[in-house]
Amino acid sequence: MKGRKLLMIPGPIEFEPEVLAALAAPTTSHVAPDFIEAFGEALEWMRDVFLCPDGQPLVVAGSGTLAMDLAGANLVEPGDRALVVNTGYFGDRFAALLGRYGAHVTHVRAAVGGRPALAAVEAALQAGRFKLMTVTHVDTSTGVLTDVRGLAALARQYETLCVVDGVCSVAGEALRMTEWGVDVALTASQKAISVPPGLALLMAGPRAMAAFHARKTPVANYYADWANWLPVMAAYEARKASYFGTPAVNLIWALNVSLGQIVAEGLDARFARHAALGRACQGALAALGLGQVPLQPEYAAHTMTAPRYPAGVSGADLLPRIGAAGVTLAGGLHPAIKAEYFRIGHMGPTSLNDLLATIGALEVGLAGCGYRFDVGAGVAAALRAYQG
Ligand SMILES: *Cc1c(COP(=O)(O)O)cnc(C)c1O
């Protein structure tokens, strides 16, 4: 880490040395017995991580957007109706993707930084028969956390599939697929799964599988067609060789290492650790007098934070100063407010020390910009809030 900046953006993130070592190991055949074992074990651990004991895991080389495609391409048939619970940039992306496969998309939107009320979602579900509803668990463009549990219960009530974009949440925010009735959850390796970019991960529950098997039209995306990948996943879980497209061998070795670490930490402990990191970051911002994009404290995610620049401070001035102090943060993403806020990722292996270093670098940057505050107040508040 010496001479190297701390990467504190909402993915990619800092990775564990054992995970990086797996990437650097000599590449094996994708049908080598030890690789088959590692892939099979990773698929089994995915059910533990998604808390979906009867789910069907899929791991395919690609980014998180491919994971969204794996859901959209396989669940949508032309003319189907889809409801997008939209909390920002990635809701817009899901809507565009579903539309590409012929879905008629309805949005339930909120103001930037807000989230649609359950009553508004219920009114939309009542008004039209939707085959599926998508929810972005944490929209990385706003740092808004949605109430997946409440939304999934509504989807059940109205016999609509609940698809969760968990790219910025799975293995960080509490997400209990089976218990909450979530039908599909998807993510990418570089977020809280804590493996460098390159793997799309998806878990399909029984209702999603039934909807796929009941299709009347072929899947309009060859690479993403579950029919191509299901036999491959089944074979690796049965510790047999199989082939459709060459798996990203080293990334899957790394995935095996990281999922093993996540399961060893325990999901409840991991959710609690992320909750504490979120509290600490938000406590620091409040002490420094910085606002946040989420409009209510309970809307704020625990895997990332979206602080607003204080009056008189610009991103062009602040972010390079934080970088010079040793920490890389991300600028804004939501087009409507891009220049007004920045983003801090604190997921996966992020420790309290990493977060304190980040808040320290933020304080150095703010002071350099001429912003007046009580030096050390952010770090002290983070420490206090982390203890609960
Ligand atoms: C990062 C992210 C994506 C897109 O993932 P890519 O790997 O960049 O394709 C989708 N949804 C959410 C919520 C994300 O945070």
Residue nearest to atom 6 of ligand 1 (CA): 64
C-alpha of residue 168 to centroid of ligand 1, in Å: 7
Q: What is the pLDDT of residues 46-61, one digit of tens each?
A: 999 999 999 999 999 9
Per-residue pLDDT at 331? 98
Domains of the chain: 6-11+266-386 (3.90.1150.10), 17-265 (3.40.640.10)
* Cα gap 273→173, rounded to integer Å: 10
| Terminal Cα distance for the chain, rounded | 29
Q: What is the pLDDT of residues 309-339, one digit of tens each?
A: 999 999 999 999 999 999 999 999 999 999 9
Residue nearest to atom 8 of ligand 1 (CA): 64
Per-residue pLDDT at 20? 98
Angle at 266 between CA 70 and CA 209, to 5 degrees: 25
Classify 182 as helix, strand or coil.
Answer: coil
* Cα gap 335→240, rounded to integer Å: 47
Average pLDDT on 26-33 reads 97
Instruction: Judge whether 36 and 239 are in contact, CB under 8 Å.
Output: yes
DSSP codes of every residue in 59-74: EEES-HHHHHHHHHHH
Alpha carbon 137 to chain centroid, angstroms: 7
Q: What is the pLDDT of residues 129-156, one digit of tens each?
A: 999 999 999 999 999 999 999 999 999 9
Classify 384 as helix, strand or coil.
Answer: helix
DSSP codes of every residue in 249-279: HHHHHHHHHHHHHHHHH-HHHHHHHHHHHHH
65 lines ligand 1 (CB under 6 A): yes
165 lines ligand 1 (CB under 6 A): yes
Q: What is the pLDDT of residues 98-119, one digit of tens each?
A: 999 999 999 999 999 999 999 9
347 lines ligand 1 (CB under 6 A): no
* Cα gap 210→35, rounded to integer Å: 30
Q: Is the pLDDT of residue 2 over 90?
A: no
* Cα gap 76→93, rounded to integer Å: 15
188 lines ligand 1 (CB under 6 A): yes
Per-residue pLDDT at 147? 98
C-alpha of residue 13 to centroid of ligand 1, in Å: 13
Query: Hey, what are 15's tokens?
Result: 């990775």
Q: Is the pLDDT of residue 126 over 80?
A: yes
Residue from 135, 165, 199 whose mutation best tests the ligand 1 pocket (most atoms within 8 A of CB): 165
Average pLDDT on 9-27 reads 97
Q: Is the pLDDT of residue 297 over 90?
A: yes
Q: Is the pLDDT of residue 3 over 80?
A: no
Q: Is the pLDDT of residue 294 over 80?
A: yes
Classify 23 as helix, strand or coil.
Answer: helix
Atom of ligand 1 nearest to the CA of 166: 13
Q: Which of 4, 151, 170, 23 is nearest to 87 (CA)?
A: 151
388 band by pLDDT with thresholds 50, 70 and 90: confident
